[in-house]
Amino acid sequence: MTAVKGSARTIWALGDYHRFATETVWGLGPLLVNACGISRGQRVLDVAAGTGNVAIRAAQAGAAVVASDITPENFDAGRRAAREAGVDLEWVEGDAESLPFPDGEFDVVTSCFGAMFAPDHQAAANEMLRVCRPGGVIGMMSFTSNEAAGDFFRLLAAYAPPPPAGAMPPLLWGTEDHVRSLFGERAQSLNLTRQEYVETAPTPREYFELFRHAFGPMVAIYEGLSGQASRTAELDAAFLRFITRWNQGTGESVRISYEYLLAIARKRDD
């Protein structure tokens, strides 16, 4: 594993990803399953699956599911969640840019805010297309650079180490023209729609603490600022201002909308 991939694995293993996912993006799993038309008898791969947000829901729909992720440290939490949901699925360590599966292995390939973080976007798109059967479906949810989502990523970038040389910005996956260029003529059809979901918390402080202690990339940033008290306090204040800036809740409650691009591609069958 390269140093870049090892670093990514370490970052996403920090904090408590399952807690973070269940309190933020967990409700999107069924939406992606429905958008892809996943049903009984299909073979499904969820790329950068985390702890099973989409994979578990696909299994509940009756599909035979493989959950793949570069960070297997999160698989135990995913297995527990799958057992609680009454389903069984396969968990496989895998890099979105080099998936460990044969060509045309899956009827549907999904990724919810996952494959977008692979540094080489074309390599990730190529791999999802490769492992999808002819006529199969690839479904992705990716943050756009608009409003709260873009503001959040810019905030993190101001305090994080610079990305690896040649790494493409994750938010490009939220741009229609970019997604069209990645799939190109290999997609028989490509449906792109911008949608929103909402994250909530009882108070701004609780929302802050969720990210501070459970979201791996933010945990990594704080670790990198260890010993820099003024810089740490600056990040604290900046994130709390972010929450205030985008909060649509009433009273003490937090309610922040994030825009994402839903991409549903059908691979050419010829």
Q: Which pTM was predicted? A: 0.95
pLDDT tens column, 21-51:
999 999 999 999 999 999 999 999 999 999 9
Q: What are the φ/ψ torsions at residue 154 (nearest 5 degrees)?
A: -65, -35
Task: Evaluate whether residue 215 is within a structural domain.
Answer: no
Containing domain of residue 122, as a range? Answer: 3-151+163-197+260-267
pLDDT tens column, 247-261:
999 999 999 999 999
Task: Evaluate whether residue 236 is within a structural domain.
Answer: no
Report which residue type is found at 138.
Answer: I
pLDDT tens column, 116-159:
999 999 999 999 999 999 999 999 999 999 999 999 999 999 99
DSSP state, residue 80: H
pLDDT tens column, 85-106:
999 999 999 999 999 999 999 9
- Give alpha helix (H) positions in 94-165: 121-131, 147-157
Upper half-sphere CA count for residue 210 (Cβ side, 13 Å): 20
The average pLDDT across 178-205 equals 97
pLDDT at position 6 is 77
Task: Evaluate whether residue 143 is within a structural domain.
Answer: yes
Answer whether 258's CB lies under 8 Å from 204's CB.
no
Task: Evaluate whether residue 216 is within a structural domain.
Answer: no
The count of structural domains within the chain is 1
Range 180-196 burial, b when 16+ CB lie within 10 A, else e = eebbeebbeebebeeee
Task: Evaluate whether residue 73 is within a structural domain.
Answer: yes
CB count within 10 Å of CB 66 equals: 25
Task: Evaluate whether residue 114 is within a structural domain.
Answer: yes
pLDDT at position 5 is 76
Q: What CATH number should be reported for the domain holding residue 112?
A: 3.40.50.150
pLDDT at position 92 is 98
Q: Beta partners for 41? A: none
Task: Evaluate whether residue 210 is within a structural domain.
Answer: no
The average pLDDT across 211-232 equals 96
Neighbouring residues of 26: CB distance < 8 A, sequence distance ≥ 6? 53
